[in-house]
Amino acid sequence: MHITSQAALKPPNAAVAPVLQKQLALLLESTGEGIYGIDMAGLCTFINRAGAHMIGREPDEVLGCNMHELTHHSHPDGHPYAAHDCAIFNAFRQGLPCRIDTEVFWHRDQHCFPVEYSSYPLMDGDTVLGAVVTFVDITERKRAADALQAAKNELEQRVVARTQALSVALGQLRELSAYSETVREEERTRIAREVHDELGSLLVALKMDVNWMDKRLSEQQQRTRHEAEAMRIRLRSKCQNMSGLIERAVDNVGRIITDLRPSILDHQGLWAALEWQAHEFAQSTELVLDWDMQGTEGVELPEPEAMAVFRIFQEMLSNVARHAHATALALRIEVADGGLTILVQDNGCGASPLAFEAPTAYGVMGMRERARHFGGQLEISSQIGSGSTFTLHLPLSKT
In a domain, 210, yes or no: yes
Q: Residue 28, class by beta-carbon neighbours within 10 Å (0-12 exposed, 13-18 middle, 19+ buried)?
A: buried
Q: What is the CATH number of the domain that holds 130?
A: 3.30.450.20
Rg (CA), the chain: 47
d(CA 85, CA 291): 86
Coil, helix or strand at residue 83: helix
Q: What is the CATH number of the domain that holds 343?
A: 3.30.565.10
Coil, helix or strand at residue 378: strand
In a domain, 303, yes or no: yes
Q: Are 277 and 310 in contact (CB under 8 A)?
A: yes
Domain boundary, last residue among 256, 285, 303: 256
d(CA 222, CA 220): 6
**Bridge partners of residue 391, in order along the sequence:** 343, 379
In a domain, 144, yes or no: no
Coil, helix or strand at residue 39: strand
pTM: 0.46
In a domain, 143, yes or no: no
In a domain, 276, yes or no: yes
d(CA 38, CA 70): 12
- Nearby residues of 1 by Cβ (< 8 Å), 6 or more positions away: 97, 120
- Nearby residues of 359 by Cβ (< 8 Å), 6 or more positions away: 171, 172, 175
User: pLDDT of 117-150, one tens digit each?
Assistant: 999 988 888 888 889 999 999 999 999 988 999 9
- How many structural domains compose the chain? 3
Q: What size, in residues, is the chain? A: 399
Domain boundary, last residue among 111, 137, 163: 137
In a domain, 217, yes or no: yes
Q: Residue 366, class by beta-carbon neighbours within 10 Å (0-12 exposed, 13-18 middle, 19+ buried)?
A: middle
In a domain, 145, yes or no: no
User: pLDDT of 166-195, one tens digit each?
Assistant: 887 777 777 767 666 676 666 666 666 666
Domain boundary, last residue among 210, 232, 256: 256
Domain that holds residue 359: 264-395
Q: Are 202 and 252 in contact (CB under 8 A)?
A: yes
Q: Are residues 20 and 102 in the same domain?
A: yes
| pLDDT by residue, tens only, the chain of 399 residues | 333 333 333 444 444 456 566 666 677 777 789 999 999 889 999 999 999 999 999 999 999 999 999 999 999 988 999 988 888 887 777 777 889 999 999 999 999 999 999 999 888 888 888 899 999 999 999 999 889 999 999 999 999 988 888 887 777 777 767 666 676 666 666 666 666 666 667 777 777 777 777 777 666 665 667 777 777 777 778 777 877 777 777 777 766 766 666 677 778 889 999 999 999 899 989 999 999 999 999 898 988 898 889 989 988 998 899 889 999 999 999 999 889 999 999 999 999 888 888 877 878 888 888 898 889 999 999 989 889 999 999 998 765
